[in-house]
Amino acid sequence: MKLLQDWVRRQAESRPEAPAVISGDRQLTYGELEACSNRLARLLQASGCKRGDRICFAIPKSPHAIVALLGIMKADCWHVPLDTTSPPLRATKIVQSSQPRLVLGVAATAAWLEETLAALDARSPLQLGWLDHSPMAIRSVAPTFSGDDLPRCSPEALDQQNGADDPAHILFTSGSTGEPKGVVITHANVIHFVEWAAKYFDIQSNDRLSCHPPLHFDLSYFDIFAAFSSGAQLHLVPPEMSLLPNQIADFIRNSQLTQWFSVPSVLSYMAKFDTVRFGDFPSLKRLLWCGDVLSVKSLIYWMKRLPRVAFTNLYGPTETTIASSFYTVPACPADDKEAIPIGRGCDGEQLLVLSHNLEPVPPGEIGELYIRGVGLSPGYWRAADLTAATFLQHGSKENCRIYRTGDLARMGSDGLVYFVGRADSQIKCRGYRIELGEIEAALHSLENVCESAVVAIPNPDFDGKLICCAYVSAEGKKNLSIELRRQLGRLLPAYMLPSRWMAFDKLPTNSNGKIDRGKLKDFFLTAKTQLPPARMSAVHPPLHE
C-alpha cells in the first residue's frame, strides 16, 4: 500500500455498495466515499492547491469530515484538523503555524471560524471553502467554492504525485512554551501501524469499528484506516455521548460493534456508573485502550462482565504514530494491585529503557523510555531545534533515530515494559496530553495574575490527574478563581482548565528560590474545596489528547 487513500479506492472497486461510514441515520458506501473525495480533490486542485500545501479543516466529526481528510490527501496536500471545541484564539495559533493554502469549513462552524480567522494578519493569503450548501464570506473573503460545486467535478480517480514518505497530516499537541507544536505524520507511518494492527486483531470486512476520539486526536486514524483497509464499517460516535455513559453502552449494543477503542477514562466512567451488564455487547470481539493508564480496578470490572472479549492495552505518543507497543491481557487480574504492562513493540517498533547516558538499564530498574522504529515522525513542523532535541541519533547506523518520550519505565523479568510515570511537567488527563507549562504561559498573560504555578495531583474519582492552579493576584486581590478560569477559557480548551484553584500572598519556594511544587501538591491534596468542573465539550469523557 502506497498511500492511505488507496485503501478506499480498492474497496470502492471491489465492494462499492458496502457501507463505509455510518453516522446516525446517515451512511456513505465505499463507492460514494471514493466519488465524493475524488470530487473534492479536483475542486481543491482547481482552487490552486498543490502538492505539499497544508489545508486546515474545521469540520466536526461527521461523514463530511471523513470526505474532507481523504479529498485533501488525494489532492496531494496535507490535512490539518482543527479542534472546533477549542478557544478560537488557540486555533488561530495553529492556522498561523501551518500556513494553509485553504481552510475548509461547514455552516455549523462558520461563527467559530470567523473568530479564529479574525485574529490573522489581514494580509495573509488564505482561501476558504465550504463543504455544505451555505457559502458565506469570512474576513470579507468570498468563499472559493461550496458543496454546490462538487457535483460538477468528475468522480474519477486522480493521478497522484505523493509517495509513502510524504506527510499525510500535521497534528498539533500541547507545547511547553505555550505554543501548540505540530507533529508531522507520513502516509508510511500510519500504514505500517494499520497493517500490523489489522493483521494482529484480525479485522475483517464484516467488522464494525467505533470511531470515538475527535479527529484532531491521533487515535482516530487507527479507527478510520483500520476500517478502510479491511472494508469494515466505521461507526462515528456522536461527541455528545462522551458525557453520557449509559448512551455509550447503548451505542455499542445498537450498532453491534465488534471493536471498541477509546481512552481509559471512558472505560472508567462507564464502570463507575455500572453501565455494563454481565455478558453484555454480544457482538463485541475486542476492546482496546490507549492514551493513558487504565486502573486495574476498572479493567477487572470490564473483564468480569465481558469474559469472551479480548482486552488490549496500546501505548504510544503522537510522535510515534498511534501506538508503538501492545499487551493483550491473558486473564482477568486476580486483584487490583496487579501491574498491567504496556507490553512489547509492535512490528517494526522497539521500546528502549535507557539511562541518562542512553545506556540500557538492568531489568527492574527505572529508566527513561525511548522508541525506535517505523512509526517515528519526521519531526515537528518548522521546529528544527525541538526535533533535534527530541528525536536523537542512537547508534552508528544511518537513520538510527530514537524518540525521547519523557516517560519513565522499567523492563520486567518477563521481557515486557511497564509504564512508571512522567519525567517532566507533561501529564495525561482524560486521554489528552497536556503540558502544564502551556497552562502557565496562558495564565501569565492574564492581567490579574502576577505569579502562578500549575501542578497535577491524582484524581480521586477517575483515572488520570486533576490540574491545580496556585496564583498570586495583582494588587493582592482575593477570590479571583472563577474570573481567572473564565478568562483562561478564552485561551485554552476545556480539558486544560484547572479544576482546583488556590490564592496565595506568595507562592512557596524551596532553598534554591524556585517555586516548591511539591509543597503546592501537598496543599491541594489536603484542600477540601474545589470549583465546579469546567463545562466540558462533548468530546471529553466524563467529563481524551
Written as one string, the DSSP assignment of 351-390 is: EEEE-TTSPBPPTTSEEEEEEEETT--SEETT-HHHHHHH
Low-confidence ranges of the chain (pLDDT < 70): 1, 122-124, 140, 176-178, 396-399, 461-463, 475-478, 511-513, 528-545
Q: For the chain, give the number of residues.
A: 545
Secondary structure class of 318 (helix, strand, coil): helix
The pLDDT of residue 124 is: 65
Q: Does 237-422 match 427-526 in CATH topology? A: no
pLDDT tens figures, 409-435: 999 999 999 998 878 778 877 778 888
Pairwise CA distance, residues 524 & 504, whole Å: 12
Q: Which helix (H) or strand (E) holds 436?
A: helix 436-444
For 179-214, b where at least 16 C-beta lie within 10 A, e where not — what string? bbbbbbbbbbbbbbbbbbbbeebebeeebbbbbbbb
Helix locations, 255-383, DSSP H: 264-272, 296-305
220 contacts 214 by C-beta, under 8 angstroms: yes
The pLDDT of residue 221 is: 97
The pLDDT of residue 542 is: 28
The grid coordinates listed for 474 are 495583582
Pairwise CA distance, residues 355 & 359, whole Å: 5
Pairwise CA distance, residues 291 & 315, whole Å: 7
* Unique residue bearing C-alpha cell 505540530: 182
The pLDDT of residue 281 is: 98
Residues in contact with 29: Cβ distance below 8 Å, sequence separation at least 6, in sequence order: 16, 17, 18, 19, 20
Q: What is the biggest distance separating any 2 CA atoms in the chain, rounded to whole angstroms? A: 71
What class does CATH assign to 237-422?
Answer: alpha beta
281 contacts 252 by C-beta, under 8 angstroms: yes
The pLDDT of residue 512 is: 59
- Domain spans of the chain, in order of start: 30-185, 237-422, 427-526
161: left (phi > 0), else alpha (psi -120 to 50), else beta?
alpha
360 contacts 373 by C-beta, under 8 angstroms: no
The grid coordinates listed for 455 are 501542578
Amino acid found at 295? S
The closest alpha carbon to 510, from 528, 522, 498, belongs to 522
* Unique residue bearing C-alpha cell 462522551: 242
State which fold the 30-185 domain adopts.
Rossmann fold (3.40.50)
Tell me which DSSP letter residue 498 carries. -
How far are the Cα atoms of 39, 151, 439, 473, 527 from residue 478, in angstroms, in the given order? Answer: 58, 60, 20, 7, 17
183 contacts 173 by C-beta, under 8 angstroms: yes
Q: Which CATH architecture has domain 427-526?
A: 2-Layer Sandwich (3.30)
The closest alpha carbon to 296, from 326, 267, 325, belongs to 267
Secondary structure class of 288 (helix, strand, coil): strand
The pLDDT of residue 424 is: 78
Pairwise CA distance, residues 380 & 267, whole Å: 31
For 483-502, b where at least 16 C-beta lie within 10 A, e where not — what string? ebbebbeebbbbbbbbbbbb
